[in-house]
Amino acid sequence: MGSRVPPPSLRHRGFRFFLGGGGAGELGSEMLPVAMVGLVLAEHGPLVLGLVLGARGAAGSLCALLSGALLSRVRKSTALAADGLVQCASVLGFALGPDTAAWFLGLALIGGAAGSVSEPAAVSVTPLLVPGQRLQEANALRSVVGRTMGVTGPAAAGVLLAVLDARTAFLVVAGAFALGAAALLCVREEAPGPDRVSQPIGANLRAGLREVVRRPWVLAIIAVATVQAPATLAPGFTLLPIVAADSYAGPVYGLALSCMSAGQLLGGLVAARWSPARPGLVSLTGVLAYPLVLLGLAATVPAWLLLAGYTVTGAGFMLFGVYWYTALQRAVPQDLLGVVVGVDQVGSFGLEPVGYAVAGALAETVGPRPVLVGAAAVGLLTALVPLAVPGVPRLADSPAAAAVR
């Protein structure tokens, strides 16, 4: 049997270090919430745990735009390494610092703010490390590595908590972040030019926002994400464990999350090889699986069908992510890409915490199933609307618009 040829994007040294460093940092990120449960929940209860996790997420969302604007002034790999070092320091603070809620909240805010640079920097640096024709493959590999860490990280943290005390587990998490930062410091992509370094942050931010507005297909996708994140995604994830425990025998909740992760891995492998002529059409059609799954959950379909739906959903989400980021990397000027990804991050996650809170409150009032049906209706009604916008089916500027620019 012949040996398998590695993906061509891995021939590039900088990308290999980027992929390894990002994977180590992602492992730390996926282990961290489980470690927090072992420390914060055990010593302070669910209210403080929720505040700590919420503070970390809120700080990341609020700082995403500023982080994107700052990226045009520095090496993206340096920003990623700095994020890893800050994450390492904040995790060490959990392990070695005082056992107070205020201390934990402060560390969560610092870690969340630093983490806001992660996705804009990772998306922005990829085109500087691999040739344009390998962007989609590189994005898919990064997604597969990240999803692999998403599967192994929580399990590894759970094992650590079973054999070690929580604070020692935090030291292992800090080591993962430190290892990732060390690898990222070995990535040396081209530095920004003097004109970009001297550009005011406010000017970068305004220029990036103009890039979003002048491309209707980018604005349409972000607008739909801003609606679906609180109205469809958040209710689905909030109510899945409640309905699964009430209506199904066995560990359906855990299996559903595992099936989604497996689907994401499959979707990443497919995206690395498949370049459809209309990636926007494929992506939005794949996203339709999620509201259908919510309807199945509300109707208590057989467990095997529900789990199959979560697998398809994971694949659809991954295809969308790979094609979307590849399209942005090819269409948006390099020096403004971080701002555009920051806008996307705010749109995709900024209102999601509100959705979690509202979904829980509505479920207490009218029951979880009507909330799931409503969330599915929003998802079905909005998923395909962007296809009417020029450029969305191909995730690219129209030829006429491209010629004008």
Task: Region of 287 please: left (phi>0), alpha (psi -120 to 50) or beta.
Answer: alpha
d(CA 94, CA 102): 12
- 30: three-class secondary structure by DSSP: helix
Q: What is the pLDDT along the chain (405 residues), one digit of tens a residue?
A: 445 667 888 889 999 999 999 999 999 998 898 888 888 877 788 778 778 877 888 888 888 888 888 888 889 999 999 999 999 999 999 999 998 989 999 999 999 999 999 999 999 999 999 998 999 999 999 999 998 998 888 888 888 888 988 899 999 999 999 999 999 999 988 877 776 666 778 888 898 899 999 999 999 999 999 999 999 998 998 888 888 888 888 788 888 888 898 899 999 999 999 999 999 999 999 999 999 999 999 999 999 999 999 999 999 999 999 999 999 999 999 889 999 999 998 888 878 878 887 888 888 889 899 999 999 999 999 998 999 999 999 999 866 555 445
Other beta carbons within 10 Å of 399: 8
Nearest to 235 by CA among 384, 318, 352, 314: 352
- 6: three-class secondary structure by DSSP: coil
Q: What are phi and psi of 304, to 5 degrees?
A: -65, -35
**333 close to 211: Cβ distance less than 8 angstroms:** yes
Domains and CATH numbers, the chain: 8-187 (1.20.1250.20), 201-405 (1.20.1250.20)
**Could you tell me which residues come within 8 angstroms of residue 80 by beta carbon, excluding any fewer than 6 positions away?**
18, 21, 22, 25, 117, 118, 121, 122, 125, 181, 184, 187
CB-count burial class (<10 Å; 0-12, 13-18, 19+) for 207: middle
User: Tokens in use for 358?
Assistant: 């509202």
- Give the pLDDT of residue 2: 46
Dihedral of CA 354/360/366/368: which sign? positive
**262 close to 310: Cβ distance less than 8 angstroms:** no
d(CA 180, CA 186): 10
d(CA 387, CA 281): 7
d(CA 111, CA 94): 11
- Give the pLDDT of residue 1: 42
**268 close to 147: Cβ distance less than 8 angstroms:** yes
Nearest to 141 by CA among 149, 312, 33: 149
Residue type, 127: P
**335 close to 195: Cβ distance less than 8 angstroms:** no
User: Tokens in use for 194?
Assistant: 């003097």
- Give the pLDDT of residue 4: 61
Other beta carbons within 10 Å of 287: 22
d(CA 319, CA 269): 9
**100 close to 142: Cβ distance less than 8 angstroms:** no
Other beta carbons within 10 Å of 7: 16
DSSP 262-329: HHHHHHHHHHHH---S-HHHHHHHHHTHHHHHHHHHHHT--HHHHHHHHHHHHHHHHHHHHHHHHHHH
- Give the pLDDT of residue 329: 95
CA 9 to chain centre: 22
